[in-house]
Amino acid sequence: MAATVKQHVQLALSLPPRLRTFLARYPPASILPAGADPETHKTPYQEESPNPFMPTKHPITGKWHNPKYSLRRQAELVKLAQEHGVEELLPFTRKLNEEKLRKRVELGLRVKGTGVGEKVKGHKHERTLVAKMEKRREAMLAMPDIIREWKKVGKRNWTKFPK
């Protein structure tokens, strides 16, 4: 028991200061002391806003307040937590990897033309490139016959393409 507590303390001390401060202000229920009730064992920061990553509605005025941490700061905290392997200790946010994967699966790759049977429109020269190159290849294959015929007919009597 004492060894695991020491390991947890060492892990906490090895975290960067920003992450350590965040976890001290908003400790997850999983790291609370044994037998402690998460509802009664709250820090003053948690009483003010249980999830600092989500907007909160004022109980009296009904006005919405912005999250305590902006999306940029949320992303920075999530990246730090990922680097140190403690991402599961953070409260819910859109920036968590599981949430990003869930959203990608739900919505798919939202780029027109990447679905089944769809084509990306592209520029005109990109759309006509394949046909143009095929026509050019066929002309190059037929070139020896055209040269032979041109030499036989001569410049003055030449009526075919190219002139």
pLDDT per residue as tens digits for the range 10-60: 888 899 999 999 998 998 887 777 777 777 778 889 888 889 999 999 999
In the predicted structure, residue 4 carries a pLDDT above the cut 80: no
pLDDT tens for each residue of 85-128: 999 999 999 999 999 988 888 877 777 776 667 777 889 999 89
d(CA 150, CA 117): 46
- pTM over the 0.75 mark: no
Token pair, residue 98, equals 């599981």
Beta strand ranges found along 42-136 (DSSP E): 56-57, 64-65
pLDDT tens for each residue of 127-161: 899 999 999 999 999 999 999 999 999 888 888 76
Burial-class residue 154 by CB neighbours within 10 Å (0-12, 13-18, 19+): exposed
